Amino acid sequence: MTDALHAPRWTIERVVPLLAGTVVLASLALTLVFSSGWLLLTGFVGANLLLFGAVGWCPASLLLRRLGVPRRTASCPAPAGR
């Protein structure tokens, strides 16, 4: 069992890819069920991931920041093994 000091924190750097993966899978499912137009959503998510990787922010990260999700800092290091 982990204590509170070593519990993983949900940071913007963790949430953005998780959110993107969820939206991509949902848009692929919607494409299979309804219309290929849902692939535009997949492209939008991919473009935002490129933006996040290149400059460190995207619309989702700005929204998460306003919701109070912290960025990774020295006091909140990456998980071991990375």
pLDDT at 66 over 60: yes
For residues 15-30, average pLDDT: 97
Q: What pLDDT is attached to residue 73?
A: 78
pLDDT at 11 over 70: yes
Answer yes or no: are the C-beta atoms of 41 and 27 closer than 8 Å: yes
pLDDT at 2 over 60: no
Listed residue (16, 15, 40, 10) closest to 28, CA to CA: 40
Q: What pLDDT is attached to residue 9?
A: 85
Mean pLDDT of the chain: 87
